[in-house]
Structure 1
Amino acid sequence: MEFNPLNLAQRNTLDSALKADNFIVGDVNFTNLYLWQNAREIRLAFAGGCVVIKTTYPNQAPFYFYPIGGGDKRAVLEQLINHAKAQREVLEFRALQSEHKNELERLFPNAFSYEAQRDRFDYVYSVAELINLQGKKFHKKKNHLNAFLKLYPNYSYEPISLLNIPELKLALQEWHKLDDPQDLGLKHEHGGILSVLAIYESLPLLGGVIKIDGRIVAMSFGEKLNPTMALIHIEKADPSVRGGYQMINQQLLKHAFTDCVHVNREEDLGIEGLRQAKMGYNPVFLVEKHHARLV
């Protein structure tokens, strides 16, 4: 198996493989991989009609994502097992959806150990609910939204485009100055956003910004995972603007994803404040993810 570094030329092949399969985890989406490539080494191999993604964090053993595509999964998995043995690696899969976990158990009974990863579960919501925010269960979120509308009735929404990307980058840099400089995750996120904006027109992204008095105060971008589900990659806002996050959350869905039934807003990474915020939007379901390790 020959693994090559992630590059833009691989996007169409990966996208085609994802369309031929049933992945709803955000981890293996090309934009997601491109966004976080500075935090880890990402390589792709093409084998047996499938795409295999290999990931290595600094000073850690590599792991893989489940083979993607309509090819012969058993043959590709056998290839991976042999490849890992040849590299003297312990084969480990991460972000396995329940369907893929069950398939792996069926194809290779008792060969792998499994462990659910709650911190990595993806949160999936109703697009209509997040746009309308109706009912008691959205009371707190609606309060923040109403506060924004009361304070900034003359706000405007714009799609992200080549016209406003330069000023968006300046806003992002100002917000990043407020981040903890020791937080590598936020550093990698900031660099990843800038790298994606540099090739924005080459990716199937739909994004938007909120402006107050001509100044960008919030931004977000995402794309369609499939015809009925959107995936939100990034959401950032000026922390001094009350309701900024709630407003960009609602407005991006309203302007870009009304034809989707569900939206995947990714994982909480075990960060308590983030988990509370994501649960506060009342997910319709969580996408369970598992680690699998060859025993």
Structure 2
Amino acid sequence: MIEFRPVRLEDRATIERFTMSSDITNCDLSFANMFCWQEVYHSAWAIVDGFLVIRFHIDGGDRLGYMQPVGEGDCARIIPALRDDAHAHGQRLRIIGLTDRGREMIRQMHIGLFAFESDRALEDYVYAADDLRNLPGRRYQPKRNHINRFMAEYPDYRYEELTPDRFDECMQLEREWRRNHEGHTSELCAEQRAMQRAFAHFAELGMTGGCIYVGEHMVAFTYGSAVNDHTFDTHVEKADTDYDGAFTVINCLFARHLPERFTLINREEDLGIEGLRRAKLSYHPAVIQHKFTAIHLHPDELACKELWQTCFGDEEQFIDSFLIRYYSRRRMLSIERDGRMAAMLHLLPFESELGRTTYIYGVATAPEYRGRGLATELMREAMRLAGERGDDALFLIPTPGEEWLRDFYGGFGLEGRIPVEFVTRDGFDFGTGRAADDVAMLWLRDPARPRPERLRCTWSAQ
């Protein structure tokens, strides 16, 4: 096992020796972020063969994640050491926050052993610092207009450096802001605790910040720290929304007060919050930084992926997304022949107007094993399990254009042509890729029950 140590203030110089010279702009590699969110993520660090490795608890839970190793050369060579560390904790290896380059290094050295995915809600918005400082050109005209209206309406406004004597005012403004965002209470409470830690060690963390006053009332504040020598990360930005334009003003003026060496400003993720996404896009990021997740695949997942690619020809990204988000060994039925997976299907849990509704998904037989009754064997077992578990309904979508499949599945009691709509937390397409072809055959526990004209199926993880 690797000897990891919790991130402490005294570790800053050692950790930043790696991060400051790196070209990685990921906000999660800011030392201040690691330290301030320690209560949630329990971040720890180690040096492995010349690379800085950060290990943390994903979403504050039991699952371990590892940041992209930071150092000179190809980080893929230390992946076996990280895998062994994860296995020693009874877990698979999950590498979080990979750049495009980091993903390719691992993909090339460990061919086929990982599934990769990028979550749009967690991608960083990185801006050219001069764009935020100067708001140049036509595309920034709305921002300049916003600032001009604010300055005209509040001529007594002023920008001030954020200093310790103003921290209490910041916390009060944050509490007011949080009360207006009750839809994300848990995240914001965690953020509040991170802010308290930041203010308690502001100078030691190398933080800098600014605030806007109208008269004697603080209407906005922001602060952040360096990710590397040329990238600044804005950790927090809050404003009193009663003062229209306060966010735009603090954004611009703070950027102008940052040292010129910062040519990029990272304004972090949008967390999938639609309003926040619109706001961040309105500043025209230079790049939306991918942060890939890499998951080391178990043998059964590798076999599933290989058979899926052989039979369906789907893009690797689609298969990886399924494996990372929805695959479970206990929901897959498979048959092995000659030491390899020869056939499979997946029993996926959904809820519909019919009740507990299982979707038979990804029925596949390797070409060299077709005609041997393997799919028939799997379908019989699927129907047996559906009856044993008390499923209310069971359905599948035959491959469009393959009418013979309707006869095959009809032999197991599935029938009809019912349009299906899938509802999932992330919009994953469980259908054919074309909504008009998402037409299902259906089996009902109660044959006398009326069949719906349309089936709306909501993912129900079990």
Compute the TM-score of the two structures, normalised by the length of structure 1: 0.92
Matched, 1:275 2:277: yes
Matched, 1:208 2:181: no
Amino acid at match of 1:36: W
Bigger Cα Rg: 2
Residues 41-87 of structure 1 deviation map (CA, whole Å, 9 limit, x = unaligned): 32222322222211213444211111123388355322111112222
> Which residue of 2 is the match for residue 29 of structure 1?
30
> Given the superposition, is the C-alpha separation of residues 116 and 166 from structure 1 closer, same or farther in structure 2, using an over 3 Å criterion?
closer
For residue 2 of structure 1, give the secondary structure of its aligned residue in structure 2: coil
- Is the 1:49–1:71 Cα contact (8 Å) retained in structure 2? no
> Which residue of 2 is the match for residue 54 of structure 1?
55
> Which residue of 2 is the match for residue 159 of structure 1?
161
- Is the 1:92–1:293 Cα contact (8 Å) retained in structure 2? yes
Segment drifting more, 216-225 vs 161-170: 161-170
1:156 Cα deviation (Å)? Answer: 1.1
Q: Distance between the aligned counterparts of 2:287 and 2:77, measured in 1?
A: 32
- What is the aligned-residue RMSD (CA, Å)? 2.1
Q: Distance between the aligned counterparts of 2:258 and 2:61, measured in 1?
A: 40
Amino acid at match of 2:32: T
1:235 Cα deviation (Å)? Answer: 0.6
Amino acid at match of 1:249: N
1:130 Cα deviation (Å)? Answer: 1.5
Q: Distance between the aligned counterparts of 1:181 and 1:55, measured in 2?
A: 26
> Which residue of 2 is the match for residue 8 of structure 1?
9
Instruction: Give 2:266's match in structure 1, choosing from 254, 264, 268.
Output: 264
Amino acid at match of 2:100: S
Segment drifting more, 117-126 vs 254-263: 254-263
For residue 16 of structure 1, give the secondary structure of its aligned residue in structure 2: helix
For residue 220 of structure 1, give the secondary structure of its aligned residue in structure 2: strand
1:207 Cα deviation (Å)? Answer: 0.7
Q: Distance between the aligned counterparts of 1:187 and 1:111, measured in 2?
A: 38
Alignment of 1:34-183 (within 5 A): 34-56=35-57, 57-70=59-72, 73-180=75-182, 183=185
- Is the 1:48–1:75 Cα contact (8 Å) retained in structure 2? no
1:166 Cα deviation (Å)? Answer: 3.6
Q: How many pairs align?
A: 295
Segment drifting more, 114-123 vs 135-144: 135-144
- Is the 2:173–2:238 Cα contact (8 Å) retained in structure 1? no
Segment drifting more, 146-155 vs 221-230: 221-230
- Is the 1:6–1:34 Cα contact (8 Å) retained in structure 2? yes
1:165 Cα deviation (Å)? Answer: 2.6
- Is the 1:49–1:72 Cα contact (8 Å) retained in structure 2? no
1:248 Cα deviation (Å)? Answer: 0.6
Gap regions ≥5 residues in structure 1 = none
Compute the TM-score of the two structures, normalised by the length of structure 2: 0.60
1:182 Cα deviation (Å)? Answer: 6.3
Identity across the alignment (%): 29
Residues 85-137 of structure 1 deviation map (CA, whole Å, 9 limit, x = unaligned): 22221101111001111111223222211112222221111222222223331
> Given the superposition, is the C-alpha separation of residues 71 and 230 from structure 1 closer, same or farther in structure 2, using an over 3 Å criterion?
same
Segment drifting more, 75-84 vs 178-187: 178-187
For residue 225 of structure 1, give the secondary structure of its aligned residue in structure 2: strand
